[in-house]
Every structure is written in C-alpha cells, then in structure tokens.
Structure 1
Amino acid sequence: MADFPATVDLQIADHVAVVTINRPDARNAVDASVANGLAAALDEVESRPDVSVGILTGAGGNFCAGMDLKAFVRGEVVRLPDRGFAGVTQFVSRKPWIAALEGYALAGGFEIALWADLIVATVDTKVGLPEVKRGLVANAGGLVRLPRQMPSRIAAELVLTGDIVPASQLQPFGIVNRLVAAGQALEEARQIALKIASNGPLAVAASKRVLQESIDWPRAEMFERQNEITLPVFASADAKEGASAFAEKRAPVWRGE
C-alpha cells in the first residue's frame, strides 16, 4: 500500500476501503496535503482488485468544512489537474463510493459528498454551499450536480442564499440515502458497502457506469449504448458463477472476469 500523509487515512477490510480525511482540528478542511492524499487514496482503491467499494468520511465528528481558506490565501493548490477539488470531484471511478457524513459537510465538503454514489448522514449533519457568502462559487460540482440530484428550484435556493441546513431537510429530495443517529454514519455506510461488495464486481461496475452516463443519452440511443456496456457482463465467467451459485444454493465466488 502507498504511503499517505497524516491528513488522510486508508483502511481496507472485507473488500471495503474507508478513506478518512484526518484534520479534525480544522473540521477536515481541504489543504494541499489533503488534496494530494485523497488523490493517492482514490488511485490506490481504484487499482486494487481486492477492493469493491469505497467509503469517504472525516475524523473527529465532521465530514469536511470545504476548502481551507487559509491555505487558499497562502496559494496552496487544492484543485488537481483532471481531478478537480480535493483530487476527488472530477475523478472518474469504476467503483461505487459512499459518503458517510457527520457534523459539517460544507462547500467543497458537500461537493465531495455529491460526487459519491450514495450518501449516509446523521440527524446532526449540517450541509450547504455557502461559497457565495465569501464571494466564491460552488464550482466543484455544486452548481452542476445539485440541480441534477434534486429539484432545481430547491437547489437554486441553497446555492444562491448560501444557507446551511440540516441534512434531514434534504432527505425528502433524495440527496441522502440513509439518515442515522449521530456517530453511526460510518457503520451504516459500511453495512451498505458490504452488501454492494457481495455482488458481482463486473455487474456493479457496468451498472454504475450506465447509471451515471445515461443521464445525457438521447432516448433513441439509450438501449444501444446500454448494451455496449452491459452485454459483455452476461458473457462473463462471473455471470456463469452467479447462476451456478444460485442453483447450488451457495455463495458465489467472484473473479471479476
């Protein structure tokens, strides 16, 4: 496993990777060290065949307060080429990611969460895109992802007011998959991750790709484009293994091929 800065931790068990932003004294705000550490951690997860799912979380009771404004003033680079803010928000991963939110998930921190495929938050979690209050804009995904993931007028209110709101307020709009008690976000995310990790990795990767890319597909081309991605899965050894395991009433042994 690669070496990571002290500001980012990576733990792997049961085919699940947990990546933790570890700057609790700064509410896990992103400086150059965090950005480079997260980029390295995501690369590690992406390259490892023994990892099926990733979880992103934060240490010390907060997810991430966004960009470290002091680091910004110092000129630290927190947006990496082709990877976006924190080395995350423009990164394309074949594997599913779950954001486990505690405490504050603000500005770029909330945008990191919006990058993930699923979000688990607690009843105490506060989210928001307050960039406009600092003369900045939420261009790490907030402006383009939020209105695709919830009603556009609700998204506009969050963006234009910069208000910070309870995550529970956004659950009815589908931003949050699970809402749990304080301190339980990571464990809930882990339970979801274990369910995903028990499935065929080729099937999961193809399904994720179609879910993400098909938003922009013309209706007339949807099934043709989908079939290009999904039909190879039906011809895979894993597909045969899945069917055999079902017939034999045993757990499948996936090979990812």
Structure 2
Amino acid sequence: MSASAAEGRVTTERVDRVLVITLDRPERRNAMTTTMAEGLNAALSEFDEDADLRAGVLTGAGGFFCAGQDLAQAVRGEFARTVDRGWFGIIDRPPTKPLVAAVEGFALAGGLEIALACDLIVAADNATFGVPEVRNGQVAAARGLTRLPLRLPFHVAAEMALTGDPIDAEALHQHGLLTRLTEPGRALDTATALAQRIAQNPPAATRITLESIRDAAASVESTAWARQARAFSVYALAGTPEYQEGVSAFLEKRAPNWP
C-alpha cells in the first residue's frame, strides 16, 4: 500500500438529490489523517456548491464510523485540520445544507465530534460512542466538550468526558442525542431515506429553517467555545510529557505511566 493510500480517502456518491460522503480508511477504523480532512473539506464544498443537492449523509466504510484523529500523526504533532473548515474538515464550518450522520460500529473521540457537527444522527442499535481523550492525556478539542453538554443532560455529558468510558447507542437515544436507531447494517439506508425526505422540501425554506435552528444552538455554543479556545491549545498540550506518554501508551497497547 502506498503512503497516500495508507492515509485514506473520502468518497462521494449521489443518490438523487442526496450526497453520500464516506470516510474510507477501514483498516484504521477510519481514523482521520490530514489527507482525509482535506478530502472531507472538498466533499462538503462540492455539496454546498451544487444546487441540485439538497441534503447529505456522512458515513464510514467497513462497519465503522470514525475513530477520530490518527494518533500516529498526532504524536508527531500533525493534526487533521484544514484552513477552511477546521478540525477534520468539518468542525468549524459544517455544510450549509442538512447533513445526517450514519453511524455503524463506533464514533469515538474526534469521530463523535464529527457526528456532533452533523444536524441529525442515525445509528445502529449496537453502535458505541465516546470521548476517551482524557484517558490518554488529551482533551476533546474539536468542540466535543462544548457540544456534548448542550445536547445531553449535563451529568451524562460529564460522566462521558471525565471517565472517557464509552456509552451505547440505546442510552444516547434515550437521552435524545440520536435521531433514530436501526438494526446493525441499516444505518446508512435509514439515514439516506431521511435525507431524501428532507430533500423533498423546497430549498429556500429548508435553508432558512436550518439556519434558524443552528443559530439558536450557536448562541450558547459560541460563548462556551470562545472560553475553551482561550483556556486550551491542543498544540500546547501536545508538547507535554503527559500527552506524549498517553498517546505512546495507546499506540503501544499498554497502560500509561503518568509522569
């Protein structure tokens, strides 16, 4: 496998007026690299600019949604960010049209943050979600710590973030984070059908409705995000012994020895 192939890719497929975007690096559970972030950035720009496309679906290949940032790159100080849309090519500037996440397997760390950047989340009932960064000496820097307590009961979000332990789709559906649960293997079909239902509505009304819903949430989120950005820099944390030990331990599949 070439170096470029090993870094993964992002593919797109048109289904009527819906664009299906796939994170395609299943051998690494779709962990995000700089190459994939640029690919997602480009796919979302295609989605935004094509007037025939009315809604989108974001999914992962190989039975996984996304394992987040590729830690082998992170330990070298390389992060999956783009100038245009920020973390993972989506976090700071999602598309202007409705986007549905279709989650199979798991959405962990940055993978959950990518799902949170979508407007709706459909998941298989055996899917797993989590923000495990704290266990590896990291912080969920791609708005996960801002968005989770706004979309879940505070104590549920706090337990997820402070323990780093995963939580199953059934529980998150009960707490209102997930739009729909499906049988395993059916998340993409269900998400695509939901996106097609949205795409039937007139585009101007859909755009204004989406902007209004996002603006209502963003008024609170923007204040919290600005405070977090002032208090924390992933680049500063990446230079600490704690971060280096945590990521190295994860990659070497051993318990960390905290300094």
User: What is residue 157 of structure 2 aligned with on the other side?
Assistant: 155
User: What is residue 62 of structure 2 aligned with on the other side?
Assistant: 60
User: What is residue 72 of structure 2 aligned with on the other side?
Assistant: 70
> Could you tell me the TM-score, scaled by structure 2's length?
0.80
Q: Is the 8 A contact 2:94 2:118 kept in 1?
A: no
**Equivalent-residue separation in structure 2 for 1:190 and 1:6 (angstroms):** 23
User: What is residue 206 of structure 2 aligned with on the other side?
Assistant: 204
Any residues of structure 2 matched to 1:1-257 within 5 Å, and which?
7-215=9-217
**Equivalent-residue separation in structure 2 for 1:217 and 1:124 (angstroms):** 33
Stretches of structure 1 lacking an aligned partner (at least 5 in a row) = 219-257
Deviation at 1:138, TM superposition (A): 0.9
Distance 1:6 1:135, change over 3 A: closer
Which aligned runs of 4 or more in structure 1 are off by greater than 6 angstroms?
A: none
One-letter amino acid matched to 1:47: E
Secondary structure of the structure 2 residue equivalent to 1:74: coil
**Equivalent-residue separation in structure 1 for 2:43 and 2:23 (angstroms):** 11
Deviations 1:159-185 (A, max 9, x none): 111011111111111110100010000
One-letter amino acid matched to 1:181: E
**Equivalent-residue separation in structure 2 for 1:128 and 1:44 (angstroms):** 30
Q: Is the 8 A contact 2:41 2:84 kept in 1?
A: no
Deviation at 1:97, TM superposition (A): 0.3
Secondary structure of the structure 2 residue equivalent to 1:57: strand
Deviation at 1:118, TM superposition (A): 0.2
One-letter amino acid matched to 1:209: E
Deviations 1:2-55 (A, max 9, x none): xxx961101112100000000000000001111110000001100000100010
**Equivalent-residue separation in structure 1 for 2:201 and 2:149 (angstroms):** 30
**Equivalent-residue separation in structure 1 for 2:218 and 2:25 (angstroms):** 37
Distance 1:105 1:21, change over 3 A: same
Distance 1:13 1:149, change over 3 A: same
Stretches of structure 2 lacking an aligned partner (at least 5 in a row) = 1-6, 221-259
Deviation at 1:150, TM superposition (A): 1.2
One-letter amino acid matched to 1:179: L
Secondary structure of the structure 2 residue equivalent to 1:171: helix
Higher RCO (CA 8 Å, separation ≥ 6 residues): 2
**Equivalent-residue separation in structure 2 for 1:180 and 1:48 (angstroms):** 30
Larger CA Rg, structure 1 vs 2? 1
> Could you tell me the TM-score, scaled by structure 1's length?
0.80
One-letter amino acid matched to 1:52: R
**Equivalent-residue separation in structure 2 for 1:127 and 1:214 (angstroms):** 25
Deviations 1:50-90 (A, max 9, x none): 10001000000000001110121233331223522111111
One-letter amino acid matched to 1:130: P
**Equivalent-residue separation in structure 1 for 2:121 and 2:8 (angstroms):** 25
